[in-house]
Structure 1
Amino acid sequence: MKSHYPLVIIGAGPAGLAAATTASEHGIETALLDEQPAPGGQIYRNIESMPTQRAELLGSEYQRGEKLVQLMRSSNTHYFSDASVWSLNGQLELGVLHQGRAHLIHADQVIIAGGAQERPVPFPGWTLPGVMNAGAGQILLKQSGLVPSDGVVLAGSGPLLLLLAWQYLNAGVDVKAVLDVQPMSNWLRAAPYLPKALLAHHYITKGLRYKRDLKAAGVLTRHGVKDLRAIGGGHVQAVDYIHRNKLYSIKTPLLLTHFGVIPQTHLSRAASCAHEWNTAQQCWRPVNDVWGATDIKGISVAGDNAGIGGARTAEHNGRLAAFNAIHQMGHISQGERDKKAKKDLRWMKDELLIRPFLDAMFRPPSIMLTHPTDEEILCRCEEVTAGDIRKVLEEGHQTPNAVKFHTRCGMGPCQGRQCADSVAQLIAYETGTNPRDIEPYRVRPPVKPITIGQLAGMEQNSEE
């Protein structure tokens, strides 16, 4: 790893792969930094070594990633696996931990393409062993071919829930139930966006096929579920819920939940990029233009890092960010950039036609976001409950950073990734304000774990 690259791309998912390939094709020396052992990101995880039968099980959208990875591999991109970025500042200096060694590198342009994370939503029993994110279940399937042996209940809201249920069904898993918590009011909220969504009908057709197959297999599917609870002592044993004013219980050793995804913003916030509240997606996202450029010169965001749009949109985002970076470095004119980007701009616009419909349809119920019981743990790292936070709010400390100071909420190993959204929603509700007016946690380096020894080693290496 050198100390300087003209272009550094963070993340090797669809956006990062497309950006790296595009830049390399134009003769730009590019470093692609990836936390994973192999390229593909979460959506195309393990694509290079995936057995054919399992790839077919995961579907055509997953298989699409093989070509993206091949194109990157055949380019002149400097690809670094096992490389986590623990620092990024406005001077385009990056702290990187690569295979256990710390480095400082500089770039002329940086594209952040770190993707998204599942939205953490606390509910009674969500910290019990045996309760996991649906994304974790999909990682096990993609990475190792592991599936639940004793059945599973899937609960929450969002397209991933339906996809994973369908994948498990085809893998022979006993899918005990799919419990959809989206309120019926979401249908009314989404209806105005349906006509445009139908122009991206391939997404809707695929979703209807998943539903049809699950129904044909006799999988219990409930919509409008309320009061979701995981029940158990040392391990989840059952899932309780209310449907149409009646209490139900399903015995299960495994509950996988999903409530949509939100952008990973730690690096863009550490670099002091401006962020804005996205009401439709109920999350913070970096402020950026169509090229992904932020208000910090030389830093761009691409893919779900810039706002949730899906894998295909991320591809186009990545290429657009790369074209703009190439232009900013003086290798092509603005006119050449616009000409090269014409198809991706059009394709991205087409892909995004369905997004307003999906955002409205799968928006998590506000009661789950704003009404955790006092006993529910919001910060799993520091075991801070909603009651602890309410007590601090009553004392007059009514910002996330003040709550962090008084409770250590957000100061654990995840640096607030698993609690920031929940804390902000709770503060907004309890203080009668809008989430967009709640300043997020301040983010300081290191944004990823690094040891004192690794930092000291970096200093020693620079002296040598």
Structure 2
Amino acid sequence: MTHLQRESCELAIVGGGPAGLAAATLAAELGVETVLFDEQSAPGGQVYRNVEANAPRHDALAAILGGDYAGGLALVRAFRASGAAYEPESAVWQVAASGKVGVSRGGRAYLTRAQRVVLATGAMERPVPVPGWTLPGVMGAGAVQTLMKASGIVPDRPVVLAGCGPLLYLVAVQLVRANAPLVAVVDTSAATLAGTVRAALPLLPAFAGDLAKGLSWIATLKARRIPIHKGSRLVVEGTGRVEAVTFDSGGRRVRIATSLLLLHEGVIPNNQVTTSLRCKHVWNVAQAAWRPETDPFGATSSARVAVAGDGAGIGGARAAVHRGRLAALDAAFRLGRIGRDERDARARPERTALAREARLRAFLDRVYRPAEAVRPLDDDTLACRCEEVSAGELRGLIAEGFTDLNQLKSFSRCGMGQCQGRMCAGTVGRILAEGLATDMAAVGHYRLRIPVKPLPLAELAELGHADRNDKPVLEVADGDPSQRI
């Protein structure tokens, strides 16, 4: 596992989480020249971040993070032993339809050409744009979990968790185990606990362990006397930083003082690269998110590119592993390492397991539909935090006749900040859909241009392995000069 500026490879995998690790391991075992590019310094992704260092520990941190997290160590070890090349601390800022991959590492950028690319970029937390969400002291629940995994850092000030989804309760339990000052949990989901239990009954034979685990998290919080509120219409209060959160609960307005508010309403596919490639995307109504259109092996409408894991639609860590293996099998077939019959035969158990996981995901999507993250915004609430554009400003432009999402982006600058629309794309699309009395599928999504990650001009000027006779060196879509820089 070396760190090189590679001119070419057979298979480039982007992302070192469960899907990327599984895909790289199997592809290398099948004889494919495989390189995994990963932004982190060690494999594991967000789910298993820093697992090699944390899992073998016999201290409080290992107990806090739990057995599911430690289970990721087996994936990492299998990858380390597979023979696949590993390029850590490597940010991929471009993937072109031709297989050209732009990488930035150690202050230098370079291009490499891959015959096949598997994007295993995973998911990101869904932004929750409530009034006051940009105040210092408001974070995503996953961000605090990342701090625990990466550095063993836990909050030392009063914390409130607000939102919905399994991760909300997992993080709450982890904070309790870490003796962090958790003040309350505000559950914004519409489903009641009794209704959730009833909906889960058909899943008991296959997923008893998963369902029991979720109930145990709630029981742990109740045993520690952590208040759990059903709430809606969140508002963050504070002057200069968060001081309290208020919400409707049981017919009254509740206010809870806090110094740290963690918001979470599920995760959405991280599809910046597939969007920049102009891959076909579909609106997933159940998950309220865009995802790239893929075949059973993860192949997209871009001939050389596949997507594995949550980037193709949220399925969870176990599903990501199966999707990664399916993408690897298809890559090995396309690259001539195995035949179609072998690919299909080896794919059957993976597809069966994936179908099983889809049953649990459908249940979670149903009972934990985002509420606060899709509620109509007050005019004063910021829709785009990078450019500080409010919902009211966007509605004003729509009233003036702006009916195209990308036109709205150009005139408002929403989506043109450093995050490249990661934090505002869904919100701006929703405001436009509301203004036009239509749905998200009708308004579409942003057209992204490269680089999809910030790239210093100094690195671009010294771009390694660029063909100086191929102008321009940065390409987005083959055959479409208007999409080249």
For the criterion TM > 0.5, the same-fold answer is: yes
The one-letter amino acid of 2:280's match is: A
* Deviation larger for 57-66 or 192-201: 192-201
Matched ranges for 1:413-432 at <5 A: 413-432=418-437
2:459 is the alignment partner of 1:451: no
The equivalent residue for 2:179 is 172
Q: Matched residues in 2 for 1:73 and 1:368: separation? A: 39
1:405 and 2:410 are equivalent in the alignment: yes
Do structure 1's residue 394 and structure 2's residue 360 form an aligned pair?
Answer: no
Q: What is residue 63 of structure 1 aligned with on the other side? A: 70
Tell me, yes or no, if the aligned pair for 1:376 and 1:385 is still in contact at 8 Å. Answer: yes
State the Cα deviation string for residues 309-357 of structure 1 (Å, max 9, x = none). 0001101110110011101111111111122223222222222211111
Q: In the TM superposition, what is the alpha-carbon distance from 1:151 to its structure 2 partner?
A: 2.3
Partner of 1:303: 309
- Tell me the CA shift for residue 123 of structure 1: 0.4
2:10 is aligned with 1:6: yes
Structure 2 counterpart of 1:329, which letter? L
Matched, 1:347 2:353: yes
CA distance in 2, matches of 1:459, 1:47: 32
* C-alpha contact 1:108 1:298 (8 A) present in aligned 2: yes
Amino acid at match of 1:279: V
The AA in structure 2 aligned to 1:200 is F
Q: Pick from 103, 119, 135: which aligns with 1:112?
A: 119
Q: CA deviation at 1:79?
A: 0.3
Which residue number in structure 2 is paired with residue 20 of structure 1?
24
Is 2:37 the partner of 1:30?
A: no
**1:460 Cα deviation (Å)?**
8.6
User: Of residues 316, 324, 334 in structure 2, which corresponds to 1:328?
Assistant: 334
Tell me, in whole angstroms, the C-alpha distance in 1 between the residues paired with 2:15 and 2:43.
9
- For residues 225-272 of structure 1, the C-alpha deviation after alignment (integer angstroms, 9 at most, x for no partner) is 112111110111111111011111111110001011000111011122
Distance in 1 between residues matched to 2:383 and 2:339, nearest whole Å: 49
- Matching residue's letter, 1:3: E
Matching of residues 350-361 of structure 1 within 5 Å: 350-361=356-367
Residue 381 of structure 1 aligns to a residue whose secondary structure is coil
**Correspondence 1:141 to 2:145:** no
Alpha-carbon spacing, 1:326–1:129, altered in 2? closer, same or farther (3 Å): same
Contact kept in structure 2, 1:194 and 1:357, CA below 8 Å:
no
Q: CA RMSD in A?
A: 1.9
Are the aligned partners of 2:127 and 2:373 in contact in 1 as well (CA < 8 Å)?
A: no
Residues 313 and 348, structure 1, Cα contact 8 Å, conserved in 2: yes
Contact 2:93–2:102 under 8 Å retained in 1: yes
Distance 1:127 1:230 in 2: 9
2:212 aligned with 1:205 = yes
Aligned pairs for 1:200-279 within 5 A = 200-223=207-230, 225-279=231-285
TM-superposed deviation, 1:162: 0.4
Under a length normalisation based on structure 1, what TM-score does the superposition of the two structures give?
Answer: 0.96
Deviation of 1:405 after TM superposition, in Å, equals 1.2
For residue 200 of structure 1, report the CA deviation from its aligned partner.
2.0
| Letter aligned with residue 297 of structure 2 | W
- How far the C-alpha of 1:188 sits from its partner, in A, is 6.6
**Which SS does the other structure have where 1:236 is aligned?**
coil
CA distance in 2, matches of 1:426, 1:31: 41
Structure 1 residues 307 and 461, CA, compared in 2 at 3 Å: closer, same or farther?
Answer: closer
C-alpha distance in structure 1 between counterparts of 2:124 and 2:194, whole Å: 25
Residue matched to 1:49: 53
Gaps of 5+ in 2: 469-485
Does the CA-based 8 Å contact 2:128-2:263 persist in structure 1? Answer: no
TM-score by length of 2: 0.92
Name which of structure 1's ranges 241-250 and 454-463 shifts more when overlaid on structure 2. 454-463
2:164 and 2:465 map into 1 onto residues whose CA distance is 49
In structure 1, distance between residues paired with 2:465 and 2:278: 29
User: How far apart are residue 55 of structure 1 and its match?
Assistant: 2.2
- Structure 1 residue runs of 5 or longer lacking an equivalent are none
Q: Distance in 1 between matches of 2:277 and 2:466?
A: 25
